[in-house]
Structure 1
Amino acid sequence: MEFSQGRYQIGGVDALQIAERFGAPVYVYDAATMKRQYARMTKAFGKVKRLRINYACKALTNVNVLRIFRELGSGLDTVSVQEVELGLLAGFDPHDILYTPNCVSLEEVTEAVEKGVRINIDNIEILEQFGAKHPEVPVCIRLNPHIMAGGNSKISVGHIDSKFGISIHQVPHVLKVVAALGLKIEGLHMHTGSDIYDAEVFLRAVEILLNAAGDFPDLDYLDFGSGFKVPYKDGGIATDIEDLGDRLGDRFNEFCAEYGRDLELMFEPGKFLVSEAGFFLVRTNVVKTTTASVFAGVDSGLNHLIRPMFYDAYHHITNISNPEGKPRIYNVVGYICETDTFGVNRRLSEVREGDILSMANAGAYSFMMASNYNSRFRPAEVLVLDGEAHLIRRRETMEDLLGTQVQLDALRREAVV
């Protein structure tokens, strides 16, 4: 979000006008930021001869966003068969979609196979079942490197107690299964989780995967996941993607020379590509002063943006209605019948009833984690593309809440009586 001529803008469009036109609360995404982040990542790993960025669409699956990344040349990382279907609807070639589920049945894996996408398996038992049923289908194997790369424990998935991946120590068992069933292993995969603070730790995990790759002679690609951290505050910690790209690029090229051919280097960024592109605009309902705090109560809550309550995530908050107001200290809270605090002791320009507040870094895992808790409607989504704001998801209505409910005739008659 930029401040120009006394007004806040998103992608060159006045943010207050967006709120007035589409209502609040509303998620707003800047396509230019997504494109910038994608270009930054491809440039950072420019040393690699074969590079594939697979957008991790669980971060934000609106089909219009998927189409942006398809047009940029991205592949797609999916974790459910429904995400696979959305990717196909957005025009992705099945071969450009990698399906990486966790704790799903063989039936769902088979559904993905029938759609023609690439398959990634992280469970020896499912690998055995898959090999018995689909011996002709190439497969990728997700390994757990037992590395804690940093960040919140709820989003760190490469450590020894994680449910994700096949333990690196179980590779000998995997090799026995592969040999017994005649499986073709086309790729190896790892993902340590989000918020990689230390490139050195990530590079240690890289070495673990490269070492394992030597046992698989028919590989076409290696997928190193993602987890690249973006800053949430001015001067906040972020992954130095350029330094990582330079160092990993050299090491990967060296490995390919040892392996005997150029493998494809894959990544699956989600938050890195869309987090900074998103802003969540909410309207202030009340300003409430108590003996201990001043609360700015807004027309949203954990039903729309659960990350601060779930992960203790920080989202920078700005009063875009009163940018020149006198700074005061507020607790920004929601309207849900739970403790749903967006920010504590935030220094904001004086907040008045009706003011629009903007929460930054709302592009990833914000709408995607939204719910109808308290029977509240989920907000609209707006995409700013080429200097114009476009509605890409309408706000829900009562008809949407009732649309999947089946009312029993007997109870409906009683209600009428």
Structure 2
Amino acid sequence: MELSQGAYKVQNIKLTDLANQFGTPLYVYDANKIVHQLKTLKTAFSGSDVRIKYAAKALTNISILKLLYKNGSDVDVVSIQEAQLALRAGFKPHQVMYTPSGVDFAEITEAVTLGLTVNLDNLSVLTKFGEKYHDTYPCSIRLNPHIMAGGNYKISTGHSNSKFGISVFQLPEIHEVVKKYRIKINGLHIHTGSDITESEVFLKMADILFGVARDFPHLKFIDFGSGFKVAYKEGDIVTNVYDLGLKLSKSFNEFCQHYGRKLELHFEPGKFIVSEAGYLLVKVNVVKATPSVTFVGVDSGLNHLIRPMMYDAYHDIANISNPTGSQKLYTVVGYICETDTFGADRKLNEVREGDILAFKNAGAYGFSMSSNYNSRLKPAEVLLINGEAKLIREREQFEDLLARQVEIDI
């Protein structure tokens, strides 16, 4: 989003025009930015046989999935429904990595029927998998490296108290199950969380994975998950993916030489690919001045963007209706009947009722975590592609709230 000739624009399209055309609240995604982020990662790790598997949970709109497929991405899914969306978008079964957590075994059986790459993170499930499939269908193993990494405990997934992965201290049990059922392990996987800025964290994971990998002769890939940090505000430290690409590719290629053959290097970015491409546009309903705070109440809330309340996440906010107005201090809040704060004590160009605000970095875990709380309707989604604004999800209507309910006579 750039300020050009007194207006905020993306692909030379005024965001205020989009708000007028499609209404608010409105999610807007920049296709050029999504493709750019994907190509950045491919370039950064071009020293290895790299596969970028987009973490679909970040943003599952079918048109976004199609865009990524067309531009050479694979996909990472965590549910059968995400897998079905990916297949419908054009991804081939072998391009789909399925990494469930705590699901019924019937869902894993369905993933095998679909031909997906199956990634298991539980000894009990690995045992059931071996009992059913033996050496007829390979699987990958997700390990818990006992590494605390990332910017928020709630999104750190590789520490000792995390539900994710089989502990590296349980390797003897893993080998026992694999040997007993002759399971072919075709991949090893680690994901420690989000907002990782230090290359050393990934290199530490590499030491663990490479040490473990020597005892698994049928590997095709090693997967480092993701967690690349993006900038949420000016001055934020981000992951230097080019530095990481050089260091990790060198280490990975050296390991492959010792292993005896080339393997694929996998990553599963979600936020890195779509976060900065997304904006949530909202309309100001009220400006409420109190003796201590001036609140800006908008026509959206935690039902549309829950990250600020759930993770204390920071999203930059801009008044795109009055980009040159004098700055004042505001607390921007939603319309949900809960504490519902998007940003406290923010300097914004003077806000007036009816103005349009833009929340930046709203592409990842925005719409995908939205709900109908307070019986509010979910917003529309628009994709800016080839200089045009394309509607990719219609705004919900009241009838959608009743669509799956069954009214009985009382």
Kindly, what percent of the aligned residue pairs are identical? 58
Query: Counterpart in 1 of 2:53?
Result: 54
Contact 2:202 2:224 in 1 (8 A): no
Query: Counterpart in 2 of 1:322?
Result: 322
Partner of 2:82, secondary structure, is helix
Contact 1:95 1:117 in 2 (8 A): yes
- AA aligned opposite 2:111: A
> Which runs of 4 or more aligned residues in structure 1 lie more than 6 Å from their structure 2 counterparts after TM superposition?
none
Q: Shift of residue 13 of structure 1?
A: 1.1
Single out whichever of 201-210 and 28-37 deviates more from structure 2. Answer: 201-210
After TM superposition, the structure 1 = structure 2 runs for residues 37-186 of structure 1, keeping only pairs within 5 Å, are 37-48=37-48, 50-135=49-134, 136-186=136-186
Query: Counterpart in 2 of 1:263?
Result: 263
RMSD of the alignment, in Å? Answer: 0.7
Q: Shift of residue 205 of structure 1?
A: 1.4
In the aligned structure 1, how far is the partner of 2:16 from the partner of 2:233? 22
Query: Counterpart in 1 of 2:27?
Result: 27
Contact 1:149 1:198 in 2 (8 A): no
In the aligned structure 2, how far is the partner of 1:371 from the partner of 1:74? 28
How many residues end up aligned between the 2 structures?
409
Deviations 1:289-326 (A, max 9, x none): 00110011100111111100000000000000001111
Q: Shift of residue 354 of structure 1?
A: 0.3
Contact 2:150 2:227 in 1 (8 A): no
Contact 1:203 1:248 in 2 (8 A): yes
Q: Shift of residue 29 of structure 1?
A: 0.2
Partner of 1:46, secondary structure, is coil
In the aligned structure 1, how far is the partner of 2:142 from the partner of 2:187? 9
Query: Counterpart in 2 of 1:13?
Result: 13
- AA aligned opposite 1:165: G
In the aligned structure 2, how far is the partner of 1:386 from the partner of 1:274? 17
Q: Shift of residue 11 of structure 1?
A: 2.3
In the aligned structure 2, how far is the partner of 1:43 from the partner of 1:286? 46
Query: Counterpart in 2 of 1:225?
Result: 225
Q: Shift of residue 86 of structure 1?
A: 0.3
Contact 1:141 1:185 in 2 (8 A): yes
In the aligned structure 2, how far is the partner of 1:293 from the partner of 1:404? 42
Contact 1:377 1:396 in 2 (8 A): yes
In the aligned structure 2, how far is the partner of 1:361 from the partner of 1:11? 16
Q: Shift of residue 197 of structure 1?
A: 2.4
After TM superposition, the structure 1 = structure 2 runs for residues 291-302 of structure 1, keeping only pairs within 5 Å, are 291-302=291-302
- AA aligned opposite 1:267: F
Contact 2:51 2:74 in 1 (8 A): yes
**Which blocks of at least 5 consecutive residues in structure 1 are unaligned?**
412-417
In the aligned structure 1, how far is the partner of 2:171 from the partner of 2:384? 46
Partner of 1:390, secondary structure, is strand
In the aligned structure 1, how far is the partner of 2:150 from the partner of 2:5? 40
In the aligned structure 2, how far is the partner of 1:207 from the partner of 1:11? 43
Contact 1:149 1:202 in 2 (8 A): no
Partner of 1:342, secondary structure, is strand
In the aligned structure 2, how far is the partner of 1:201 from the partner of 1:96? 27
Q: Shift of residue 201 of structure 1?
A: 2.1
**Which blocks of at least 5 consecutive residues in structure 2 are unaligned?**
none
Q: TM-score, normalised by structure 1?
A: 0.97
